[in-house]
Amino acid sequence: MIKLIAIDLDGTLLDDKKQIHPEFWEVNKKLTEAGVLFVAASGRQYQTLHKQFECILDSIIILAENGTIVKYKNEELLINSLPLDKARYFIEKGRNVPDTEIILCGKTSAYVESNNKLFWDDAAQYYDRLQKVKDLCEVDDTMLKVTLWDHNNAEQNAYPHFKSYVNDFKIAVAGDVWLDITHQTASKGTAIEEIQKKYNISPQETLIFGDYLNDLDMMGVGYYSYAMKNAHPKIKEISRFVTSYDNNNNGVVETIKELFNLV
């Protein structure tokens, strides 16, 4: 019996217009009433997810910033921060990567130095609370992650500059243009394992949907691991199942309806 459903957002629950299919809300209501726990598992900022799921905050766990912060009903279940000196180190290194911009993701807000309009417009979709500062290395906050926005391709351009740190930090390609650097123990998978422990839910009772490389760890902590039809090849390779429909055709909800006989 499935008791926990963890869903990535971009490329998964959200279509390419960044919208949630209207049918999701009714499915969430029915299954919540049946005792199923939902988790919105995203690389997005907590404040952004809080706003996006404001109408169901009492029935969904918010797993934000790729598992560095988890909240449920205003209770902080997990915080996995990046030491300040390490964050500053990666800021300095990131400044030397061509054609990239940097976002310092704190618990209070996200911070940028750039005036690049294309970058700002893109970042604003994921960071509801975003501040421009003179120097990212002078920011005083609880640091969750350092993110690079790579206008070319994060996997091909930015990632090679940080590949050598994979044994000591979590270096995750989170989208075509996004690269996230977090504490070594921070990931969506680790966060979901903590949720499973807290609510006594096993991997065999867990359903997971993902599409991109920052979902890799997450796909391994639930028996019902579904790669989206539009997922990165590596996600399809490690998942047990693939959805029949992509993110633009309500793939998540259609799969849930089938599994729970809600058709």
pLDDT in tens, 156-193: 999 999 999 999 999 999 889 999 999 999 999 999 99
pLDDT digits (tens, 9 = 90+) for 40-81: 999 999 999 999 999 999 999 999 999 999 999 989 999 999
Q: How far, in Å, CA of 250 to CA of 60, rounded? A: 19
Residue 2, φ and ψ in degrees, nearest 5: -80, 125
Q: Where are the alpha helices (DSSP H) in 128-182?
A: 159-162
Read off the pLDDT of residues 183-208 as tens digits, 9 standing for 90 and up: 999 999 999 999 999 999 999 999 99
Going along the chain from its start, the domains and CATH numbers come out as 4-79+186-259 (3.40.50.1000), 84-183 (3.30.1240.10)
Residue 175 is predicted with a pLDDT of 86
- By CB atoms closer than 10 A (0-12, 13-18, 19+), residue 10 is buried
Task: Give the model's pLDDT for residue 74.
Answer: 84
* pLDDT tier for residue 128 given thresholds of 50, 70 and 90: very high
Q: Is 219 exposed, middle or buried (0-12, 13-18, 19+ CB in 10 A)?
A: buried
pLDDT of 261 higher than 80:
yes
**DSSP-assigned letters across all residues of 84-116:** HHHHHHHHHHHTTSTTEEEEEEESS-EEE----
Q: Which of 210, 209, 244, 76 is nearest to 144 (CA)?
A: 76
Per-residue pLDDT band for 215 (boundaries 50, 70, 90) equals: very high
pLDDT tens per residue across span 85-104:
999 999 999 999 999 999 99
| Beta pairing partners, 209 | 7, 226
With 90 as the cut, is the pLDDT of residue 155 above it?
yes
Residue whose structure tokens are 């029949």 = 244
Please, what is the average pLDDT of the chain?
Answer: 96
